[in-house]
Structure 1
Amino acid sequence: MSFAPRSPADIVALIGAHPLAWVISRDFDATPLPLLAECDADGRLVSLFGHYARRNPQVAAFERDPAALILFSGPQGYVSPTLVAKPHWGATWNYAAVRVTAEMAFVPAETDASVRRLAAHLEPEGGWRVEAMGARYDQLARQIIAFRATVTGCEATFKLGQDEDEDTFAQIVRDHPDRALARAMQDQAP
């Protein structure tokens, strides 16, 4: 059974809805960072855009060796046998995850854009804007540096009940307490 997403758009949607990723350098240092997906004209993921605190040791690590592993986790959760009308059905864990390998490049000229684009993505319409910080924004912006991680590989696993029979799948979707997980299952339904 393949647990591949239905389309590359599903990968981009997962990153958009769950932007916090673990960014891991070759020395196994790791930092959780919110990232933005950048796509080509066909909607395929080509890079991830974000920023680091300049004092983070990974900045120097990536300047020495730009290879990165970036891990995203989407909807996920335990699926109890109590949700299913089969007496011998076993518990499982459903999840959607994306594993990206990338080459990091720091782009200091895009630091302001990284903050503004991330805020625009995360804030509701008419929400917070960097201008609300006044002069403090310039002071803080000097302490961060933008980067673009060019995707060299991407693997996604959307294990969301596709291997269940129709009745079992329907029972889980209907009764699972995590409605976000149930919606993700419906989106990837066989």
Structure 2
Amino acid sequence: MGSYGPDSFGRFDDSDVRALIADYPLAWLISPGSGEASLLPLVPVWREDGSMAELIGHMARSNPLHAALQQDSQALMLFQGPQAYVSPEQVGRRDWAPTWIYAQLRIEARIDFEPGGTAAALDVLIDTVEAGRARPWSAAELGARYETMLGAIIGFRARVGDLSGRFKLGQDERSEDLDAIMNTIADPDLLRWIRRMNRHRLP
């Protein structure tokens, strides 16, 4: 998998897609036809072969994006992972050009609203983001407020079409320059992603 030009930044696999969305589930959901857009948390559903089939989410019924996607169900989703500016100072060479490192996914999809699936969409998100906590929270703890809240939102499934990405995380750097960059990165998540996308050449 991976289709974002001929360079190494467009080479990635399903496991990289899975990891990026798990780490950074908040994505821009955009209606290209209307220009409406919102940041929404999305939970992927995977096929047996490891590829992504769809994403589950929800939004407020009053959100203008809801009306726009009812008119035209074609949507674009943009996930952004870790990012940082890298200065020549970090590399230790004044003849090295500064750059920006980052990870992103671009997904085209068709949005199917599922009023009857709104509670299930909420449960999927809650189970995902509360996983691993000592006392995971559940929607039932809202009591009577839950039904009121449920009426104000609507669940949806984004049926995935084209998926592309760009993981520009130092793959084109010389080994000594990459080592220097990594030694100056304070963000542990970014450092982990640099290691991930350079795993073929790092110890």
Query: Which digits, 9 at most, give the CA deviation of each residue in 1:30-62, with x for residues without a partner?
Result: 011000011111111111110010111111211
Q: CA shift at 1:4, angstroms? A: 2.2
What does residue 168 of structure 1 align with? Answer: 177
What does residue 110 of structure 2 align with? Answer: 103
TM-score by length of 1: 0.96
| Rounded Cα–Cα distance in structure 2 between residues aligned with 1:71 and 1:87 | 34
Q: How many residues align?
A: 190
Structure 1 position 20 matched with structure 2 position 26: yes
What does residue 119 of structure 1 align with? Answer: 126
| Rounded Cα–Cα distance in structure 2 between residues aligned with 1:139 and 1:100 | 32
Residues 35-46 of structure 1: pairs in structure 2 closer than 5 A? 35-46=42-53
Residues 9-158 of structure 1: pairs in structure 2 closer than 5 A? 9-25=15-31, 26-123=33-130, 124-125=132-133, 126-158=135-167
**SS of aligned partner of 2:8:** coil
Q: CA shift at 1:144, angstroms? A: 0.6
Work out whether residues 79 and 176 of structure 1, in 8 Å CA contact, stay in contact via their aligned partners in 2. no
CA RMSD of superposed structures (Å): 1.2
Amino acid at match of 2:8: S
| Rounded Cα–Cα distance in structure 1 between residues aligned with 2:12 and 2:22 | 16
Q: CA shift at 1:93, angstroms? A: 0.5
| Rounded Cα–Cα distance in structure 2 between residues aligned with 1:154 and 1:107 | 23
Identity of aligned residues (%): 39
| Rounded Cα–Cα distance in structure 2 between residues aligned with 1:183 and 1:172 | 13
Instruction: Point out where structure 1 has 5 or more consecutive residues left out of the alignment.
Output: none
| Rounded Cα–Cα distance in structure 1 between residues aligned with 2:110 and 2:12 | 26
Instruction: Point out where structure 2 has 5 or more consecutive residues left out of the alignment.
Output: 1-6
Q: CA shift at 1:6, angstroms? A: 3.0
Q: CA shift at 1:86, angstroms? A: 2.1
